Structure 1
Amino acid sequence: MNRNYEAERAALLEDVKQVLKDAEALYKAAVDDGTQEGKELKEKLKAQLHRAQQQFSELESSLVERTRQAAAHTDDLVHKNPYQAMGIAALIGLVLGALLSRNGR
């Protein structure tokens, strides 16, 4: 389940990156028709695009930091309780082995 979550999160981040890139390309390709409304709209779009890119960057940094903290916490737990960690890993391996051997029959 955790791997599925991580894969979906990574896919979502990639989708957001692509949307931001597409929006930036659209902004750059936009033709200014010379009217004041057109100039104001283009500047507003530029500001919103910049804000979205900053928010995405902050979100990505936050997610990376939380992932590092979770990994460090897990590492600490394993180092503090190595026998428990080995027991849990062995139990998970036993259950997975039993499930896989059933499917093979």
Structure 2
Amino acid sequence: MSQKYEAERAVLLDDVKQVLKDAEALYKAAVDDGTKESKALKEKLKTQLNKAQQQYAELEGSVVERTRQAAANTNDLVHQKPYQAIGIAAVVGLVVGAFISRCGR
């Protein structure tokens, strides 16, 4: 479950990063015709792009920190109650094994 979450999170963050790069490239390639409106629009776009990049950096940092905290909490719980962790893992293994064996038929 956590591997799937990590993979999906990585793909989503990569997609957002690529969109931001594409938007920045589009901004740099925009033709400036010299009118006040185009200059104002270009400045507004640049401001929004900077804001989006900053929010992306904050989001990425937050997600990484929450993932680390969840892993640390799980590690602490397993060390505090190892027999319960083994029992839970065994039950989950049995359920997954039973599900796989029934689906394979």
Q: TM-score range by the shorter chain?
A: 0.7 to 0.9
**Letter paired with 2:94:** L
**Structure 1 residue aligned with 2:60:** 60
TM superposition score normalised by structure 2 = 0.87
Query: How much has 1:13 moved relative to structure 2?
Result: 2.0
- The aligned residue for residue 99 of structure 1 is 99
Aligned residue number for residue 43 of structure 2:
43
Task: Measure, in 2, the Cα distance between the counterparts of 1:101 and 1:40.
Answer: 64
Change beyond 3 A, Cα 1:33–1:2: same
Higher mean C-alpha displacement, 13-22 vs 48-57 = 13-22
For residues 2-17 of structure 1, the aligned pairs below 5 Å read: 2-17=2-17
Partner Cα distance (1:41, 1:100) in 2: 57
Mean Cα displacement is larger for which, 36-45 or 48-57? Answer: 36-45
- Matched residues in 2 for 1:15 and 1:74: separation? 29
Identify unmatched segments of 5+ residues in structure 2.
none
Percent identical pairs in the alignment equals: 75
Where structure 1 has 5 or more consecutive residues not aligned to the other structure, the ranges are none
With the length of structure 1 as denominator, give the TM-score of the two structures.
0.87
**Partner SS state of residue 33, structure 2:** coil
- C-alpha separation in 2, matches of 1:10 and 1:98: 31
Please provide the CA RMSD for this pair: 1.8
Letter in 1 for 2:65: E
32-41 or 67-76: bigger deviation: 32-41
Aligned to 1:74: 74
In the alignment, the residues of structure 1 paired with residue 20 and residue 57 of structure 2 have an alpha-carbon distance, to the nearest angstrom, of: 11
